[in-house]
């Protein structure tokens, strides 16, 4: 158990809809990253938030957006869903920068999104 939780576990949406996925980081972890993992592939970095600001982004379009809140929770929002957005979405939190282990990520169990 990493202490990182995600909700919901599974979600089914139709093309064109919008979705919000939620993550609760471990207490004291002020960095959260989101990943998309397609079936049979490794996780792909979407973006990272540090102290409620986006400070890094992968090769994903603007319809993927996020928020991080002071209570160590965060959201991933995806607008105008496409069939290719079907994947496992993982969030990972890291201890505060400068602290021992700050370069280790602790993953949640993921949300499996299916777009029909």
Q: Which residue has the tokens 């990272």?
A: 48
Confirm or reject binding of residue 82 to other proteins (CB under 8 A): no
Q: CA dist 40 to 43, 44, 56, 88, Å?
A: 10, 12, 25, 11
Residue 32 or residue 79: which is nearer to other proteins going by CB? 32
Residue 18 or residue 104: which is nearer to other proteins going by CB? 104
Q: What is the DSSP string of 38-67?
A: -TTS--EEEEEEETTEEEEE-S--TTEEEE
- Which residues, 4 to 23, sit near other proteins by CB under 8 A? 4
Residues near other proteins, by CB under 8 A: 2, 4, 31, 33, 35, 37, 39, 41-45, 48, 50, 55-56, 58-59, 88, 90, 92, 94, 103-110, 112
């Amino acid at each position: 158990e990493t202490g990182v939780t995600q909700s919901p576990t599974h979600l089914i949406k139709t093309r064109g809809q919008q979705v919000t996925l939620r993550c609760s980081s471990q207490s004291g972890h002020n960095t959260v990253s989101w990943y998309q993992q397609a079936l049979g592939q490794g996780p792909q970095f979407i973006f990272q938030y540090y102290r409620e600001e986006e400070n890094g982004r992968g090769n994903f379009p603007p319809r993927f957006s996020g928020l991080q809140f002071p209570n160590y929770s965060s959201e991933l929002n995806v607008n105008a869903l496409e069939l290719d957005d079907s994947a496992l979405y993982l969030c990972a939190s890291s201890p505060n920068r400068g602290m021992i282990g700050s370069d280790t990520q602790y993953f949640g169990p993921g949300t499996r999104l299916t777009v029909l």
